[in-house]
Amino acid sequence: MSENNNHHIRLVVLQGSVRPGNNTAKALALVVDEVVNNARVFIEVINPTSMHLPLPGQGASEDAKRMRDTVAAADGIIFATPEYHGSFSSVTKLIIDNLGFPSVLSGKPIALLGVAAGRIGAIKALEHLRSVASHVGGIVLPGPVSVAQVNTIFDDEGNCLDEGIEKMIRGVATGLIHYIENHICPRIALEAMVRSAGVA
């Protein structure tokens, strides 16, 4: 995806699954589709499938450095994770561990999306992810989106078979944009105005 300098909001999506044909990616495709034609927004998906993200203590890789720079430059972050064994995926944790200490997530508004095959959805995964993202300084938005029985929600081509759930998933991006426009952008404008007044 090419970047347009006219975009004034930059979103980064962090995909927490590397399984071929994973449902996390199918859900994320709806998030991206919701805003890809929005002239105000540039959205980039970080897919760790072909990236080398080292374990803690092994030093930073070039992929990790690029990911860190990309996240640091973002106005907002979307985490998407499957629920594995009652928590978020190890891929998601590895992404977080490669975002530095102090983390480049600090001060960033973060929206959460979880998918699970079970009937209760990704509730546990999202609770744990909220705790970790907050711990490293992220501003985690309320209302995380949990998709239950995700194996029945998408067909093989990635089409969502439930209109209500599709609307909910698409709202992950629009909700984050709304927060940035109504809370982050006015704050930045105010800070710039105060600085310019101080110089004058």
Q: Which amino acid is at 155?
A: D
Whether the predicted pLDDT of 41 surpasses 70: yes
Q: For residue 63, with 0-12 CB atoms within 10 Å meaning exposed, 13-18 middle and 19 or more buried, which class applies?
A: middle
pLDDT at 174: 95
User: Contact 114/143 with Cβ under 8 angstroms?
Assistant: no
Mean of all residue pLDDT scores within the chain: 91
Separation of alpha carbons 54 and 52, rounded Å: 6
With tokens 């007044």, the residue in question is 197
User: Contact 114/122 with Cβ under 8 angstroms?
Assistant: yes
Global pTM value: 0.88
pLDDT at 192: 54
Separation of alpha carbons 21 and 2, rounded Å: 25
pLDDT digits (tens, 9 = 90+) for 126-165: 999 999 999 999 999 999 999 999 999 999 899 999 999 9
pLDDT at 187: 57
In CATH, the architecture of 9-199 is 3-Layer(aba) Sandwich (3.40)
Domain extents for the chain?
9-199
Whether the predicted pLDDT of 2 surpasses 50: no
Cis peptide preceding 56, ω within 30 of 0: no
pLDDT digits (tens, 9 = 90+) for 55-70: 988 888 999 999 999 9
